Amino acid sequence: MKFKEKNSIPNREVMCKVLLKEGKENRDITVLTSDSRGSAKLADFAEALPDQLVEVGISEQNIVSIAAGMAHSGKRSFAVSPAAFLSMRSIEQVKVDVAYSDTNVKLVGISGGVAYGQLGMSHHSLQDLAVTRAIPNLQVMMPADRFETEKMFEALCHSDQPAYIRIGRNPVEDTYDSTDYDFEIGKAVTLKDGNDITIIASGETVRPALDTAERLEKEGITARVINMHTIKPLDREVIIKAAEETKAIISVEEHSIYGGLGGAIAETLSDQHSVPHKIVGIADEPAITGNSQEVFKHYGLHPDYLTKVAKNLLGK
């Protein structure tokens, strides 16, 4: 598999392209926004399919309940709103109106993680994975790049399961070089094989994980890199295999160190496998203010720090 490094297309723009294509073929696909069609890059969808877009204004609880009601009427609802508000302010509606009734609503949290970096803690969504993955019936996922965003939303348009999807705001470096690969919700993708250490990442931390593996390889250390695009249902099999075949595991996430991808991996390992596991994420504190790159570097979501962690775990 080849890897690219340059890209100017944000994942939210790719999301709109897929929803527009699928929406023309299936008029039941309906997109709801909370005064966020601009920030979600949904202008083309709104112009082409105005009867399939519902603007509810800045009322995140309502967008979830309305989406659920429309789903019960046969619509395939996509509720698109900033992740910080959709996952926290609306959580009662997510739990009761969507998940507990197993209602086919896709909750799309845009500008997730620290994408709204300069706006500070109120706009960070660093607890969303912990909250949403604890809710029964709700799938949780994050695409790594524009190609995976396309594959993921194509799958979501044909899925009947409720789901929470977090996507970022800015263009991210490519992980894949095309959509010519197998994608399945709940099945992780091994991007690079290795026998010394495993790095498991999700969303926008996948590219730093790959860059770390390339650095380690120059020092004679082989790193397996796994893209865990689905946090729930978690691909436990690939984690257990990594624990059995490599000497240590690093998990990397744009999320609190508590309750997210790292927590899910630790829960899996605690059942039957004792292998060193380091969770790299946002420390248990109000995250600093700055652009995404600055925040990533500060908290170690960067090859410089990840390389040191890997070598320490291996005693090198």
Phi, psi (degrees; rounded to nearest 5) at 245: -105, -15
Asked if the structure places residue 184 within a domain, the reply is: no
Whether 93 and 66 have beta carbons less than 8 Å apart is answered as no
Q: How far apart are CA 26 and CA 236, in angstroms?
A: 34
User: Could you tell me if residue 223 is inside a domain?
Assistant: yes
Per-residue pLDDT of the chain (316 residues; tens, 9 = 90+): 444 456 778 888 999 999 999 999 999 999 999 988 777 788 899 899 999 999 999 989 999 999 999 999 999 999 999 999 999 999 999 999 999 999 999 999 999 999 887 887 788 899 999 999 999 999 999 999 999 999 999 999 999 999 999 999 888 888 888 888 889 999 999 999 999 999 999 999 999 999 999 999 999 999 999 999 999 999 999 999 999 999 999 999 999 999 999 999 999 999 877 899 999 999 999 999 988 899 999 999 999 999 999 999 999 8
Task: Read off the tokens for 89.
Answer: 């302010």
Structural domain count of the chain? 2
42 and 113 housed in the same domain: yes
Position 183 in a domain: no
Q: Are residues 77 and 142 in the same domain?
A: yes
Out of 135, 166, 197, a domain closes at 166
Question: Is residue 76 assigned to a domain?
Answer: yes
CB 253 within 8 A of CB 299: no
* pLDDT for position 6: 66
Specify the long-range contacts of residues 153-156, CB closer than 8 Å, at least 24 apart.
153/14, 153/15, 153/18, 153/19, 153/22, 154/18, 154/22, 155/183, 155/184, 155/185, 156/78, 156/106, 156/185
Is the domain of 154 the same as that of 27?
yes
**Cα–Cα dist 202/143, whole Å:** 7
235 & 294 share domain: yes
CATH for 65: 3.40.50.970
* pLDDT of the residue at 4: 46
Omega before residue 233 within 30° of 0, cis: yes
Whether residues 240 and 287 fall in one domain: yes
What DSSP designation does 146 have?
H
- Using the 3D structure, point to which of 166, 200, 220 is the last residue of a domain: 166
**In this structure, is residue 180 part of a structural domain?**
no
| CATH assignment at residue 289 | 3.40.50.920
204 lies in the same domain as 298? yes
**33 in any annotated domain:** yes
In this structure, is residue 196 part of a structural domain? yes
**DSSP helix/strand/coil, 33:** strand
- Domain that includes residue 231, residue range: 189-309
Question: Are 79 and 150 members of one domain?
Answer: yes
Q: CA 282, CA 228: separation in Å to the nearest integer?
A: 18
- pLDDT recorded at residue 181: 87
Q: Domain check: are 160 and 219 in the same one?
A: no
Tokens of 66: 């309305």
Q: Name, in order, each residue with C-beta under 8 angstroms of 160's C-beta and a sequence gap of 6 or more.
A: 104
Based on the domain organization, do 145 and 242 belong to the same domain?
no
Q: Determine, yes or no, domain membership for 53.
A: yes
Residues 279 and 194 in one domain: yes
Q: Are 31 and 71 in the same domain? A: yes
Q: What is the pLDDT, as a whole number, of residue 41? A: 82
Query: Same domain, yes or no, for 203 and 302?
Result: yes
Q: Which of 114, 135, 166 is the last residue of a domain?
A: 166
